Chains A and B, each alone.
Chain A
Amino acid sequence: MNKKAFFVYALLFFMVGVISPWVGPEYITPFDVFSTDSPTITPAQEIFIFQRIPRVLLALIAGGTLALTGAVFQTLFRNPLVEPFTLGISGSSALGAFVTILYPSLWLKWGPFSSVQLFAALGAGICLFLIYTLSNRAEGVSIYTLLLAGVTISIICSGAILLLTYLSDPHSLVVFQHWMMGGIDVIGYKSLFSMSPLLVPAAAVLFFHSKELNHMALNDEMAVGHGVDIKKIRRNVFIGGGVAAASVVSVVGPIGFVGLLVPHAVRYLSGYDQRTVLPCSFFLGGAALALCDAAARTVIAPTELPVGIITAVIGGPLFIRLLISRRLQKL
């Protein structure tokens, strides 16, 4: 493991986490938050504690998780273009969320959990179950069938969303389109709590298998020869990655390019050892999304942009730049 890289990325993650809550349409200084004699909470404190901090924390965790799942899926499927979108996880989550938004009778809340998240996670779960069942063979999971199944499910979900869009009322459409554009404009800490029961164990599984993922980059026979139980690793990483991605997408909506680009950047900068790539992708993905969100808050202030638009505007050209560079061919 490259410890130097680990600490550099961790420092970046920490610094972005400390600095970005101070960025936003309302100008807030440390003096406004910490040096006030007011017996009640001031507006500046309220914005800082209940809007900026949870929002930055959510961006750090969501961005980190999307990049982490992108990194593990790209290695697991030996394909540089794989991420939660390609596998249909984002599409099926979106369909689950849309169905909930469309039918007000399904709007429910239990503490930090809401039915939008529940149905989005359920959609991702059904997608995972389907593509895993379709591609699971006696000799192990077929990578090609899995990818084909993922892309097919994405297309089916897109079709279903289009049909529901055509049939839905304008109000539901606005709510859904906001969700689809990806947003982390949360208030309070509920969203963070609602993600954690699924996200924490799933991310732990992924980090735990980082050493085996190095072997998964070799061909199957070589990995098995080294002593890796590839069936077990594939199953655990696939389910862990899917659950982690679904838990994030269910809260922040489908945010593109972070899961695709960040792992490429980490491998380009810091080598291919997955014990370095996974934590560093988490740190860089988190920092990148928090910075994009800071931009989303300020670019057209006082109005805010959904962060998914910023990641697409920055990520798209960057990806094309990577695609035409020779370096990507080796990734």
Chain B
Amino acid sequence: MIELKNIIHTFPGSHWRLDIPQFSIEASKIMGIIGPNGSGKSTLLRISAGILNPVKGTVHLSGTEIKKIKRKEIAKKIGFLPQETASEYDFTVKELVQMGRYSHTGTFGTLENVDYQITKESLKSTDMEKMSNRRLSQLSGGEKKRAFLASVLAQSPEILLLDEPTSSLDIHRQVQFFHLLLGLVKQGMGVVVVTHNVNFASLFCKKLIFLSDGNLISSGTPDKVISKKIINEVYGENVILGSHPETHSPFLLPRLIRNKLK
């Protein structure tokens, strides 16, 4: 479990500030962090992963302050997939996924049988098994994203933090990706997804938190968070709030403003 308390973060030379009084991430649940550009979603996720130290406030991982835990120990509990997933070298998918076992290996980084087994399982769960010998340059954007996810899954984390994981995927792959995440949640993993796609978050996440301009506007079930009042406040009149035809979960559609298009 990750617990954040009284978090305040600012960047040098900027008036923008992230202010989150309380926030926690639990196992076996999927949570979405939504909000417009510049609302602080990625910053909050990076603070939760211990990658960014907040200016004020504390982050605890399983009861211990995250600053006091070694990076290797954090990596055994938290898997973090950043928005940018580039590699300077053209590794094979298998090499990349095996790197995910780093925190579990000893001084010389030698992989044991269990590491090979977990690597194989991570490749299988992301549907990358057949592409394991391909180089990253030979993959499409979506395949590359899945390869990096597989390397994060190979860490065998308890909590998975994903920053815009579906941004480069087509709608079919996005649906597949979220089903994959639901499968991981069923296995007991806690998943947090930062996404611009409010509709996917509404459909697949049990809990949402809505950020705007560094502040937590609302948190709770999708029905509660994606309300007409909040949507109007944050996105203005350009968005229509509807509901999904199958699940009746809140659904956003763009409004065609004829006058402005002329």
A residues near B (Cβ < 8 Å) are 75, 78, 211-212, 214-215, 217-219, 221-222, 224-229, 267, 271-273, 275, 330-331
Among the stretches B25-33, B88-96, B197-205, the one at the interface with A is: B88-96
User: Contacting A227 at CB < 8 Å: which of B89, B90, B103, B137?
Assistant: B103
Cβ < 8 Å to A, chain B residues 21-50: 46, 49
Work out how many contacts link A and B, with CB atoms closer than 8 A. 82
> Are B89 and A217 neighbours in the complex by a CB distance under 8 Å?
yes
Q: What are 12 contact pairs spanning A and B, CB under 8 A? A: A211-B109, A214-B99, A215-B102, A218-B86, A218-B87, A221-B80, A222-B81, A224-B51, A225-B78, A226-B102, A229-B71, A272-B91
Hey, which chain B residues are within 8 Å of A219, CB to CB? 82, 84-87
Closest residue of chain A to B73, judged by CB?
A227
Closest residue of chain B to A210, judged by CB?
B109
B122 within 8 A of A: no
User: Contacting A226 at CB < 8 Å: which of B70, B88, B99?
Assistant: B99
User: Contacting A330 at CB < 8 Å: which of B73, B79, B137, B155?
Assistant: B137
> Are B102 and A227 neighbours in the complex by a CB distance under 8 Å?
yes
Cβ < 8 Å to A, chain B residues 168-194: none
Hey, which chain B residues are within 8 Å of A330, CB to CB? 90, 137
User: Contacting A78 at CB < 8 Å: which of B81, B84, B88?
Assistant: B88
> Are B155 and A226 neighbours in the complex by a CB distance under 8 Å?
yes
> Are A228 and B71 neighbours in the complex by a CB distance under 8 Å?
yes
Hey, which chain A residues are within 8 Å of B71, CB to CB? 224, 227-229
User: Contacting B109 at CB < 8 Å: which of A75, A218, A229, A275?
Assistant: A275
B150 within 8 A of A: no
> Are A221 and B109 neighbours in the complex by a CB distance under 8 Å?
no
> Are A217 and B82 neighbours in the complex by a CB distance under 8 Å?
no
> Are B89 and A267 neighbours in the complex by a CB distance under 8 Å?
yes
Most central of B70, B75, B102, B152 by chain A CB within 10 Å:
B102
Extra inter-chain contacts (10) besides given A214-B91, A271-B92, CB under 8 Å: A217-B89, A219-B82, A219-B84, A224-B51, A225-B75, A226-B100, A271-B95, A272-B89, A272-B95, A273-B91
B74 within 8 A of A: yes
Hey, which chain B residues are within 8 Å of A75, CB to CB? 88-89
Hey, which chain A residues are within 8 Å of B212, CB to CB? none
> Are A225 and B49 neighbours in the complex by a CB distance under 8 Å?
yes
> Are A228 and B102 neighbours in the complex by a CB distance under 8 Å?
yes
Bound Cα distance A330, B109 (Å): 26
Hey, which chain B residues are within 8 Å of A218, CB to CB? 85-88, 99
Closest residue of chain A to B154, judged by CB?
A226
Hey, which chain A residues are within 8 Å of B78, CB to CB? 225
> Are B100 and A217 neighbours in the complex by a CB distance under 8 Å?
no
B244 within 8 A of A: no
B76 within 8 A of A: yes
Closest residue of chain A to B79, judged by CB?
A225
> Are B49 and A217 neighbours in the complex by a CB distance under 8 Å?
no
Bound Cα distance A179, B97 (Å): 47
> Are B46 and A221 neighbours in the complex by a CB distance under 8 Å?
yes
Hey, which chain A residues are within 8 Å of B90, CB to CB? 272, 330
Q: How far is the CB of B144 from chain A (nearest CB, A)?
A: 12
Q: How far is the CB of A1 from chain B (nearest CB, A)?
A: 9
With known contacts A226-B75, A272-B90, A221–B99 Cβ distance under 8 A = no
Bound Cα distance A171, B99 (Å): 56
> Are A215 and B152 neighbours in the complex by a CB distance under 8 Å?
no
Hey, which chain A residues are within 8 Å of B51, CB to CB? 221, 224-225
Which 3 A-B pairs have CB atoms at the shortest separation, nearest pair first? Answer: A227-B75, A227-B103, A211-B109
B151 within 8 A of A: yes
Q: How far is the CB of B145 from chain A (nearest CB, A)?
A: 12
B72 within 8 A of A: yes
> Are B85 and A222 neighbours in the complex by a CB distance under 8 Å?
yes
> Are B84 and A221 neighbours in the complex by a CB distance under 8 Å?
yes
Bound Cα distance A78, B86 (Å): 11
